[in-house]
């Protein structure tokens, strides 16, 4: 009788631990999915900034060609 009671407690404890592990695994999978999604959004935004910076540099190069000699020597008044 005592043995069955111990077995029942061990079985209950085992199932409880397994349930907790499953819940933690699901939570971690959700966190990983969120992290991956946020990372992708961040990379897209950074690529947008990179393209904007390249456009600004190209425009500055074109403007530099059109500057007068005085503007090239004295860029800041």
pLDDT at 77: 59
pLDDT at 8: 93
Q: What is the pTM of this model?
A: 0.61
Return the SS3 of 24: helix
Taking the mean position of all CA atoms in its chain, how far away is CA 41? 7
- Whose tokens are 């959004």? That residue is 41
pLDDT at 30: 98
Residues in the chain where the model's pLDDT stays below 50: none
pLDDT at 76: 65
């Amino acid at each position: 009788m005592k043995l069955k009671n111990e077995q029942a407690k061990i079985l209950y404890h085992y199932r409880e631990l397994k349930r907790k592990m499953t819940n933690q695994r699901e939570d971690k999978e959700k966190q990983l999915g969120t992290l991956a999604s946020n990372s992708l959004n961040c990379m897209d935004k950074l690529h947008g900034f990179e393209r904007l910076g390249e456009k600004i540099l190209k425009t500055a190069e074109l403007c530099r060609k059109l500057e007068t000699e005085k503007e090239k020597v004295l860029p800041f008044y």
